Amino acid sequence: MDKQARIKAMELLARSDEFLAAGDLSAAESALKEALHEDPENVESLYAAARFYSRAVPQPGTARNYAAACRKRAVAISAAMDEILGSREALSSRHLGGIIGPY
């Protein structure tokens, strides 16, 4: 993913938040979908989509799909950080999804 696409995705995500705060659900959803199109692996966009479809426009199946994608990406990021930290320190400090301890 190039830098410009990431920047555009974050701008669209911010715009989606603004529309949501103003009560314009259609525009918020449109901006959110554009952000996800620009950067489909962006954890913040996936998290925002899961929350949007869980609360603002209840679609439980869609919310679960975005939540699963967000979790998958977060686990991948956590694994990459484990490599940087080294296995002993990483295992002692890992805490994902309410489960504490080495996996």
Q: What is the pLDDT of residues 24-36, one digit of tens each?
A: 999 999 999 999 9
pLDDT at 99 exceeding the cut of 70: no
Single-letter code of the amino acid located at 45? S
| Number of neighbours of residue 85 by Cβ within 10 angstroms | 14
Length of the chain in terms of residues written: 103
Q: Is 61 left (phi over 0), alpha (psi -120 to 50) or beta?
A: alpha
Q: Is 100 part of any domain? A: no
Q: Which residues contact 60 (CB under 8 A, 6 or more apart)?
A: 53, 54
Across 92-99, average pLDDT? 55
What digits encode the pLDDT tens for the residues 11-67? 999 999 999 999 999 999 999 999 999 999 999 999 999 999 999 999 999 999 999
Q: Is 49 part of any domain? A: yes
CATH code where residue 71 lies: 1.25.40
Total count of domains within the chain? 1
Q: Is 66 part of any domain? A: yes
For residue 39, which of 1, 75, 12, 11 has the smallest C-alpha distance? 1
For residue 31, which of 53, 9, 46 has the smallest C-alpha distance? 9
Question: Element (H or E) spanning 99, and its range?
Answer: strand 99-100
Whether the predicted model's global pTM rises above the 0.85 cut:
no
pLDDT at 53: 98
Q: Is 103 part of any domain? A: no
Which residue range forms the structural domain that includes residue 10?
3-95
pLDDT at 74 exceeding the cut of 90: yes
pLDDT at 2: 86
Q: Which two tokens stand for residue 81?
A: 């950080």
